[in-house]
């Protein structure tokens, strides 16, 4: 109820929720929107209309046109939505899990264990994120899993920091002292009383990170270490468009469609997650709701 | 305060050690034959068949236990030898040093308008809370924050290069490059704009600005969002303080209260964020430099990472960590100047 009332008062947030819903629907109904052909080994292999290098403008057969190598842009954008959800949600879910465990262990045990764990966090924080993710992806090979593993390996630290500091803060609150006084065990305190309240900031961070992780994943594809050739992945399609930025003389916007559609897809996807994250923060943190 | 800064600085060797261990471990996940490629002067050396490959693995000790190989490797680095970069075809330290001025030039030019714009927009948004300037600024920042750098950059290329031909990619035009590499042009700093001024060559100066414009616009737009948000939040926080109410109550003009009393104090959190942002940007603006074919540290790092050029990756990683720690240190040291309360604590 509170959420609905908030959305009614904040049309911008409402737009974010609606865009996100639209992407969910596109991802679910991808097989209907862009049915894979029978000869495709995987629905994520974008079908191509020939092997000509030069992109073709939107037509009846390919409503968004075809990009370099005649890959169908509409098909790539539709199935790329599934790729984006897989990577975004996958990376964030694993990162939250790893970060929460490490942050909770650090806060719970304290002392040397906390010191060592938080210094490990510091070291990972000092790593150039995108470059490190590129190296790991290049080592692991192409595909969704290498990307997910690489982005998770270098992206879990902020959750560990937040969880730890939230636990340290909440641990000293009255209701925890009360629970302890009638005999709740430490584990019970952490899992049932402290963690649920520590998860709100994590939720906000995770929502915002989902968008930015999809950005990073697309950036990996853009920089040439992401998915296989022709995989339905927005970053890869944007990478193709890079070769066709300059049109023929007198027609500078000749290949606009190669950038416009996949670019708009990434932009709207990230925008919707950011708007939803923003709304969540406003709702959960009364200090921000002015 | 100084104590705290020194403790942070003492962390640096630990961070660097752990980082080198991590990158070396990544490298060790390749087979000895694959790693051999990094030592072979040319691919022909690897064509000599199994026997010669085995001999070379033996020769370079690529089958030794982890700690022996790591020790040998780190020994070289401690003597200042960062190794040879296959991608750059020159020593890693030479490559990093020659590319650093290019990135610094780009980052500084983008950072200054970014900071000014963020302070201006953020304080406006705070003052006009929930009125139209606030809404416009909010939409502008959230759009900027969601705009993928590579899409925005490609859009810039499409408009300013393909359509208008104002801002070409690269660092210099061919003719300007010829002048700069000639013996008459003295490379004082390695930054094209400054060197052009010092040499009194205005044509080269204008040319380098034309090449810098598009990446600078891209970086500014993409980075201004987060700083503006911090400035807005901080401004709102400050405007609620008692001393602001007092200043208003004693009849000071609105503008004086908002811009002199409130905005100065609201700048404090922005300084922290700006320092961190600057540090990250100095660590190489990977995507922007790649899109605009701007030969700086970021583009170099991306190439080496894709090629698994480990000596260069490690060199870049060490550089990045040092920049991060030093920048944080500078912010820590500047902070008491901005906020005298910190010193007394």
- Could you report the per-residue pLDDT of A49-60, keeping only the tens digit for each? 777 777 877 877
Q: Residues B181-209: what's their mean pLDDT?
A: 80
- Could you report the per-residue pLDDT of B248-303, keeping only the tens digit for each? 888 888 888 888 888 888 888 888 888 888 888 887 688 999 989 888 899 999 98
- Could you report the per-residue pLDDT of B111-151, keeping only the tens digit for each? 999 999 999 998 888 888 878 888 888 888 888 888 888 88
For residue A222, the chain B residues in CB contact (below 8 A) are 150, 287
Place of tokens 């006009």: B128
Among residues B100, B142, B113, B99, the alpha carbon closest in space to that of B213 is found at B113
Residues of A with CB under 8 A from a CB of B: 12, 119-120, 122-123, 126-128, 130-132, 134-136, 138-139, 211, 215, 218-219, 222-225, 238, 241-242, 245-247, 252-253, 256, 259, 263, 266-267, 270-271, 274-275, 278, 288, 290
Interface touch B15/A120, C-beta < 8 Å = no
CA–chain centroid gap for B96, Å, is 13
Residue B110 vs residues A89, B122, B212, B221, B278: alpha-carbon distances, Å: 33, 18, 9, 9, 10
What H or E segment, with its residue span, contains residue A33?
A: helix A30-33
Handedness of CA A50, B151, B99, B297 (dihedral sign): negative
Number of A/B CB contacts below 8 angstroms equals 133
B37 in contact with A, Cβ within 8 Å: no
- Look up the pTM and report it: 0.86
Mutate to test the interface with A, among B30, B130, B158, B221 (most CBs of A within 10 A): B158
Q: What is the pLDDT of residue B56?
A: 73
Mutate to test the interface with B, among A135, A234, A266, A285 (most CBs of B within 10 A): A135
Q: Where are the beta strands (DSSP E) in B99-205?
A: none
Q: Where are the beta strands (DSSP E) in chain A?
A: none
**Burial of B298 (C-beta count, 10 Å sphere; 0-12/13-18/19+):** buried
Answer whether B150's CB lies under 8 Å from A238's CB: yes
- Residues B305-338 as b/e (b if ≥16 CB within 10 A, e otherwise) read bbebbbbbbbbbbbbbbebbbebbbebbeebeeb
Interface touch A256/B158, C-beta < 8 Å = yes
Mapped onto helix, strand or coil, the DSSP state of residue B307 is coil
- Could you report the per-residue pLDDT of A149-161, keeping only the tens digit for each? 999 999 999 999 9
d(CA A270, CA A287): 25
d(CA B71, CA B308): 21
- Could you report the per-residue pLDDT of A202-221, keeping only the tens digit for each? 888 898 889 889 999 999 98
- Residues B211-228 as b/e (b if ≥16 CB within 10 A, e otherwise) read bbbbbbbbbbbbbbbbbb
Phi/psi region, residue B170 (left: phi>0; alpha: psi -120 to 50; beta: rest), is left
B284 in contact with A, Cβ within 8 Å: yes
Interface touch B146/A271, C-beta < 8 Å = yes
Handedness of CA B230, B232, B235, B241 (dihedral sign): negative
Q: What is the pLDDT of residue B55?
A: 74
Q: What is the pLDDT of residue B47?
A: 63
Residue A48 vs residues A45, A227, A238, B98: alpha-carbon distances, Å: 9, 17, 16, 43
Interface touch A128/B317, C-beta < 8 Å = yes
């Amino acid at each position: 109820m509170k959420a609905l009332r908030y959305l009614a008062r904040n049309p911008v947030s409402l737009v974010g929720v609606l865009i996100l819903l639209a992407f969910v629907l596109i991802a679910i109904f991808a097989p209907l929107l862009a049915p894979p052909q029978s000869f495709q080994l995987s629905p994520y292999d974008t079908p191509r209309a020939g092997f000509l290098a030069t992109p073709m403008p939107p037509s009846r057969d390919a409503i968004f046109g075809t990009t370099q190598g005649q890959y169908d842009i509409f098909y790539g954008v539709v199935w790329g939505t599934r790729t984006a959800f897989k990577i975004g949600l996958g990376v964030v879910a694993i990162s939250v899990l790893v970060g929460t465990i490490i942050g909770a262990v650090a806060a719970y045990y304290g002392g040397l264990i906390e010191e060592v764990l938080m210094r490990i966090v510091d070291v990972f924080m000092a790593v150039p994120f995108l470059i490190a993710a590129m190296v790991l992806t290049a080592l692991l090979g192409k595909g969704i899993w290498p990307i997910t593993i690489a982005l998770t390996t270098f992206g879990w630290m902020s959750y560990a920091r937040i969880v730890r500091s939230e636990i340290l803060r909440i641990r000293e609150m009255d209701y925890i002292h009360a629970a302890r006084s009638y005999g709740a065990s430490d584990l019970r305190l952490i899992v049932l009383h402290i963690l649920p309240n520590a998860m709100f900031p994590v939720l906000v961070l995770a929502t915002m990170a989902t968008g930015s992780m999809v950005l990073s994943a697309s950036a990996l594809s853009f920089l040439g270490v992401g998915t296989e050739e022709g995989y339905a992945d927005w970053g890869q399609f944007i990478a193709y468009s890079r070769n066709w930025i300059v049109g023929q003389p007198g027609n500078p916007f000749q290949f606009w469609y190669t950038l416009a559609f996949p670019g708009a897809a990434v932009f709207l996807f990230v925008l919707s997650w950011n708007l939803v994250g923003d709304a969540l923060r406003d709702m959960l943190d009364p200090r921000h709701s002015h | 305060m100084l104590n705290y800064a020194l403790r942070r600085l003492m962390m640096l060797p630990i961070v660097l050690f752990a980082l080198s261990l991590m990158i070396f471990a990544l490298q060790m996940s390749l087979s000895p034959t694959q790693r051999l490629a990094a030592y072979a002067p040319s691919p022909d050396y690897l064509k000599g068949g199994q026997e010669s490959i085995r001999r070379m693995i033996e020769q370079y000790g690529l089958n030794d236990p982890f700690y022996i190989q790591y020790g040998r490797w780190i020994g070289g680095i401690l003597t200042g030898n960062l190794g040879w970069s296959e991608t750059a075809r020159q020593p890693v330290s030479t490559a990093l040093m020659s590319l650093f001025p290019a990135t610094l030039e780009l980052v500084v030019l983008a950072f200054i308008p970014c900071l000014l714009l963020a302070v201006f927009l953020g304080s406006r948004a705070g003052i006009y809370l929930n009125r139209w300037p606030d809404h416009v600024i909010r939409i502008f920042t959230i759009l900027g924050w969601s705009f993928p750098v590579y899409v925005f950059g490609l859009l810039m290329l499409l408009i300013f290069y393909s359509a208008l031909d104002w801002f070409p990619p690269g660092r210099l035009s061919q003719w300007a490059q010829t002048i700069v590499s000639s013996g008459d042009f003295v490379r004082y700093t390695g930054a094209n704009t400054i060197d052009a001024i010092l040499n009194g060559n205005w044509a080269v100066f204008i040319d380098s600005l034309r090449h810098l414009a598009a990446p600078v616009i891209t970086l500014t737009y993409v980075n201004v969002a987060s700083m503006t948000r911090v400035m807005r939040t901080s401004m709102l926080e400050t405007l609620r303080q008692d001393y602001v109410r007092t200043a208003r109550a004693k009849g000071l003009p609105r503008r004086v209260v908002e811009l002199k009393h409130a905005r100065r104090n609201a700048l404090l959190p922005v300084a922290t964020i700006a320092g961190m942002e600057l540090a990250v940007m100095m660590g190489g603006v990977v995507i922007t430099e790649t899109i605009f074919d701007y030969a700086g540290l970021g583009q170099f790092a991306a190439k080496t990472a894709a090629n698994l050029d480990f000596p260069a990756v490690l060199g870049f990683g060490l550089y990045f960590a040092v920049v991060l720690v030093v920048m944080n240190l500078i912010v820590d040291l500047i902070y008491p100047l901005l906020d005298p309360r910190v010193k007394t604590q």
